[in-house]
Structure 1
Amino acid sequence: GELLEPRRQRLQEWWVQVGLLAMPLLAAYLHIPPPQLFPALHSWKSSGKFFIYKGLHSVGVVGSLEIVVLLLHCFPTSSYDWYKIWGGLTLRFHHVIALDFLGFGFSDKPRPIVEALLRHLGLQNHRISLLSHDYGDIAAQELLYRYKQNRSGRLTIKSLCIFPETHRPLLLQKLLKDGGLTPVFGPYTRPSESELWDMWAGIRSNDRNLVIDSLLQYINQRKKFRRRWVGALVSVTIPIHFIYGPLDPINPYPEFLELYKKTLPRSTMSILDEHISHYPQLEDPMGFLNAYMGFINS
């Protein structure tokens, strides 16, 4: 007891010192201004418009060119994920819509937000083709469920194209905390320094980096509502297509592909080059566009 007590006291003093040092660092971090936007991201933000959803701002970007393509982005990024294929989509489709989910990108800190945006744009009567990635798959599956249950109002879903939801969420959390976004890109298709900075700028916007742990609750929702959402995917009769990068560390080949084929045997799929990973629309925009257009045209 006499030997342990001084050691315990020293340990307590050490933690107090760590706490005192950490407080000013945390205060300084909280007051760091958001990073400056590179021209491409600034242009993307400027081309979008805000709309109000239950008192919160969300961002929507709308193409100028008779089908509506609705783009649902990944975690933890934003609608900017689609900028490399935006031109190709707007040349083909009359309406292309990309939104930042609440808490992402330039939006304030949800699923009904998607239907609210379509009503806001006057497109609720159109036939919708969903193109979703990872986190966006949750919104897509909920929309499918509501469509199947006749709860989506006048919203009609024509087709769904997905690329992987998170098969190993704990790995995703570890990659984000330890290595940033770089490990989820292929070794030959990793973003440039300016592109990584723009991704960070989107994450840092409106201090969303401070609530990243609460946004990760979608992983728990995925477990809780798995039967509802997977059931919606399995039971709908609309065409479903899957675009896959075989080098995706979160959804590893071939295990994930085998699971997907077993779950959705009627779905068609496109497998991209072997070096493409978790962000195929950024890593191989032309290959991705060709795969998506092939699905739509078929």
Structure 2
Amino acid sequence: MNTFISVLIAACAAAFAIFHTYPTPPKSPLLYQWEKEDGGSYFKFQDYDIFFKDVKGSGENKDVLLCLHGFPTSSFDYYLVMPSLRKIFGRIVLFDFLGLGFSDKPRFHTYSIFEQANITETLVEKLGLSKVHILAHDIGDTVTQELLARQ
């Protein structure tokens, strides 16, 4: 039994030594494009960088769509439907919740729905939006419910 534990500890130590020094893999070209193109930018919420995209649509109506993603994903959830959304809406706003996607991921932080709703309100105010349609799923639904409760 002691031999087994010794071998297991040695194997774990070797694996840690090898993989701890591995560099972070590069972003896929598709994710790199998502971050850099179509208005990808960052804004400050408290001391954190929050990634967002403010995309111009080609739709005749001037309505604004705010997309709230799920957990544990990012605004990239909407990548495949963006061409269709751009045809319908005049403007599409997407962002990554704190701790997800390209937004900061603070360690030892207590994340909450209330904070994610505060971030959403801050972005909407920063962009000068007074009325938005919301497309949400998963945790984005819960943030949306909190936003509605604040109305």
| 1:86 corresponds to which of 82, 88, 105 | 82
Structure 1 residue 146 and structure 2 residue 150: aligned?
yes
Deviation of the 1:39 alpha carbon: 2.5
1:45-98 Cα distance to aligned partner (Å, 9 max, x none): 102101111111111011113222111111111111101111221222122111
What SS is found at the alignment partner of 2:33? helix
Deviation of the 1:16 alpha carbon: 4.4
What SS is found at the alignment partner of 2:44? strand
What SS is found at the alignment partner of 2:128? coil
Aligned partners of 1:56, 1:101: CA distance in 2, in Å? 11
Structure 1 residue 130 and structure 2 residue 134: aligned?
yes
Deviation of the 1:108 alpha carbon: 0.6
Aligned partners of 2:93, 2:49: CA distance in 1, in Å? 16
The correspondence of residues 191-202 of structure 1 with structure 2, limited to 5 A, is none
1:192-245 Cα distance to aligned partner (Å, 9 max, x none): xxxxxxxxxxxxxxxxxxxxxxxxxxxxxxxxxxxxxxxxxxxxxxxxxxxxxx
Aligned partners of 2:26, 2:65: CA distance in 1, in Å? 30
2:45 maps to which residue? Answer: 53
Aligned partners of 2:123, 2:10: CA distance in 1, in Å? 46
2:54 maps to which residue? Answer: 62
- Please say which structure displays the higher CA radius of gyration: 1
1:20 maps to which residue? Answer: 10
Moved more, 27-36 or 62-71: 27-36
Aligned partners of 2:81, 2:27: CA distance in 1, in Å? 20
TM-score (norm 2): 0.79
Change (3 A) 1:21 1:134: same
Residue-pair matches, total: 135
Percent identity of paired positions between Structure 1 and Structure 2: 34
Aligned partners of 1:27, 1:113: CA distance in 2, in Å? 38
Q: What's the RMSD between the two structures over aligned residues?
A: 1.8
Long gaps (5+) in structure 2: 106-114
2:93 maps to which residue? Answer: 97
Aligned partners of 2:138, 2:18: CA distance in 1, in Å? 33
